Amino acid sequence: MNSYETRFYCRCPNNDVRIDYRLTIQTRTVLSVESIIDGIEIDAEEPIYHEELADLLLARFGGHQTLRADHHGVTIETWRGSSSTPQT
């Protein structure tokens, strides 16, 4: 199992505030650092809701993903992929 973790920013579609995201991808596939960086930079340019972003990242990278962000004092954490519950 491989685990990749990165941080990136997207704008909130409600008020254009920059949101700090933390993404973890767990997969048996080898992902290049460049593909991860390219995949998250495309999304950073347009405002997008957290849950929609999680769906988009799953389609792009597969595996099991955890996406975390603080949205104006509320922490949202989503799990996508091989399990709908967090990996321990």
Tell me how many domains the chain contains.
1
The CA-atom distances, in angstroms, between 25 and each of 33, 80, 81, 84 are 12, 9, 9, 14
The whole domain housing 27 covers 2-80
Query: In what helix (H) or strand (E) does residue 10 lie, and over which residues does it extend?
Result: strand 2-11
Please report whether residue 52 resides in a domain.
Answer: yes
Please report whether residue 8 resides in a domain.
Answer: yes
Is the model's pTM score more than 0.85? yes
Nearest CA to 4 out of 57, 78, 83 is that of 57
Which CATH number does the domain housing residue 47 bear? Answer: 3.30.1130.10
Please report whether residue 86 resides in a domain.
Answer: no
Q: Cα(72)–Cα(86) distance, rounded to whole angstroms?
A: 23
Mean pLDDT along residues 76-88: 75
Residue that wins the pLDDT comparison between 72 and 36: 36
pLDDT tens digits, 22-69 = 999 999 999 999 999 999 987 667 788 999 999 999 999 999 999 999
